């Protein structure tokens, strides 16, 4: 079940909100936990047992580490085992077939594929659980003594499938002491509708173009670059829209999740891009991998090593395929070039050139990210560089029919719509009744259009569902 499905919007969500709001405070966490586990079990019911195992295991490790706070050696051993077991779960369920396939390539063996179905969102909830135990070990977060409340933290459905990855310290107080308010709920509903529109009206429409172009052989260079642009818009509005919906749902339920996107396509450097894209994942790797490895504290050589390790792992986190590893190292190399070479004269490069250069690097990176099959990847890369000609009538037709959509998408990927909305609210502050009516008409209309689109369309993928 995804947020942009009719089952979620018309049945699951109204039922959860009704019961959660009407229930006495002491019953709200059990209600949310039940529905969160049901939400997860909707896709693959058997894997809810895996999530429950992860909840219980990390809960017990957190309590054991807290009780051993005076024994540094025991704490370290407990933390080590927790990390090993979490990574083992992730390795078995996400990477088994990857290793089998590669062993078959390099060794004279023919091991059968394990055929393990990837548990939805396992990368997200595993990292979230590990961050809790590590933070308890560091005394950066309080230990949770109630396994059901801890289970709610891990399985909370708004951020379960695709994040943002929430640190326990961010929501520790709100798990047991959150309040519901009409103002917060209204803000949450608005944020949810905006995210739904980004996903359904923007990502799905441009994603259909990408699905057509990526499946077409012998593309001209113009068509291939148009496809890369389409995919870049699709993955941004798909993922940031989902994050908006998660944050909005959090507000409605009394939780405050941190922002996960900050208009990454307005960036003028790769460093800035990754400070704006999937912020919770970048922060996780910084806090739990880069800094523990030594960060930039032990000389240039180790800093280079640490950056490459982080980006190798970032790529591998995204999927069990060589293209993700290549994608991670691709960004690791560009970040190193930017940090140690380009930075010296970056201020002398005109802002427009820096922005365009960053976008070209990002677009090429998305092509690496999109194709898990090596043959398909290299075929598309060939098209990007003109292996089948520069332009043709198909490319011109696609450009002419998609021109307006591309303009709308480009504007929507900037802060301009938000600034316009803020300015309009400020001008109408003296007329609160008119402002309320306009907001109701706008958000109800936007929601109705999204529902109509979902009823009429069968194309509703979610890219990060596989991670």
- Catalytically active residues are 318
Report the C-alpha gap between 60 and 52 in whole angstroms.
Answer: 12
pLDDT at 465: 59
The predicted model scores a pTM of 0.93
pLDDT at 210: 95
Rg from Cα positions in the chain: 23
Report the C-alpha gap between 121 and 169 in whole angstroms.
Answer: 21
CB neighbour burial string for 415-433, b if at least 16 within 10 angstroms, e if fewer: eeeeeeeeeeeeeeeeeee
pLDDT at 344: 83
pLDDT at 60: 97
pLDDT at 466: 58
pLDDT at 242: 94
CB neighbour burial string for 368-381, b if at least 16 within 10 angstroms, e if fewer: bbbbeeeeebebbe
DSSP state of 165: P
pLDDT at 2: 85
Report the C-alpha gap between 90 and 92 in whole angstroms.
Answer: 6
Low-confidence ranges of the chain (pLDDT < 50): none
Q: Please, what is the Cα angle at 382 between 379 and 388, to 5 degrees?
A: 100
pLDDT at 112: 86
């Amino acid at each position: 079940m995804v947020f942009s499905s009719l089952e979620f919007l018309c049945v699951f969500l109204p039922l959860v909100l009704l019961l959660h709001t009407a229930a006495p405070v002491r019953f709200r966490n059990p209600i949310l936990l039940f529905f969160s586990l049901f939400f997860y079990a909707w896709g693959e019911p058997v894997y809810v047992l895996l999530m429950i195992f992860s909840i219980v295991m990390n809960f017990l490790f957190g309590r054991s580490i807290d009780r051993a706070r005076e024994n540094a050696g025991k704490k370290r051993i407990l933390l080590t085992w927790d990390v090993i077991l979490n990574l083992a779960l992730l390795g078995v369920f996400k990477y088994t077939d990857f290793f089998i396939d590669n062993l078959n390539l390099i060794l004279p063996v023919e091991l059968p594929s394990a055929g393990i179905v990837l548990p939805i969102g396992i990368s997200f909830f595993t990292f979230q659980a590990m961050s809790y135990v590590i933070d308890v070990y560091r005394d950066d977060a309080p230990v949770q003594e109630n396994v059901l409340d801890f289970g709610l933290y891990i399985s909370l459905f708004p951020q379960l499938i695709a994040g943002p990855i929430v640190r326990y310290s961010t929501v520790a107080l709100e798990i047991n002491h959150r309040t519901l308010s009409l103002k917060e709920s209204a803000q949450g509903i608005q944020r949810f509708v905006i995210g739904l529109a980004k996903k359904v009206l923007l990502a799905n429409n441009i994603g259909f173009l990408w699905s057509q172009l990526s499946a077409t052989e012998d593309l001209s260079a113009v068509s291939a670059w148009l496809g890369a642009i389409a995919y870049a818009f699709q993955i941004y509005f798909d993922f940031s829209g989902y994050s908006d919906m998660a944050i909005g749902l959090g507000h409605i339920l009394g939780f405050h999740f941190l922002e996960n996107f900050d208009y990454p396509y307005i960036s003028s450097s790769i460093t800035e891009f990754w400070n704006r894209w999937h912020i919770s994942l970048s922060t996780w790797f910084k806090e739990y991998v880069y800094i523990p490895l030594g960060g930039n504290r032990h000389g240039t050589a180790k800093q280079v090593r640490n950056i490459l390790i982080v980006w190798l792992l970032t790529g591998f986190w995204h999927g069990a395929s060589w293209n993700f590893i290549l994608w991670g190292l691709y960004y690791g190399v560009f970040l190193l070039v930017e940090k140690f070479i380009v930075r010296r004269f970056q201020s002398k490069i005109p802002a427009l050139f820096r922005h365009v250069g960053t976008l070209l690097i990002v677009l090429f990176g998305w092509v690496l990210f999109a194709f898990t099959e090596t043959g398909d990847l290299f075929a598309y890369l060939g098209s990007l560089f003109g292996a089948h000609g520069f332009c043709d009538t198909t490319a011109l037709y696609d450009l002419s029919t998609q021109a307006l959509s591309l303009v709308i998408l480009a504007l929507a990927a900037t802060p301009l719509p938000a600034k316009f909305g803020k300015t309009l609210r400020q001008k109408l502050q003296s007329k609160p009744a008119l402002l309320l009516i306009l907001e109701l008409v706008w958000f109800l209309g936007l929601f109705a259009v999204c529902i109509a689109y979902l009823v009429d369309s069968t194309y509703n993928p979610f890219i990060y569902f596989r991670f």
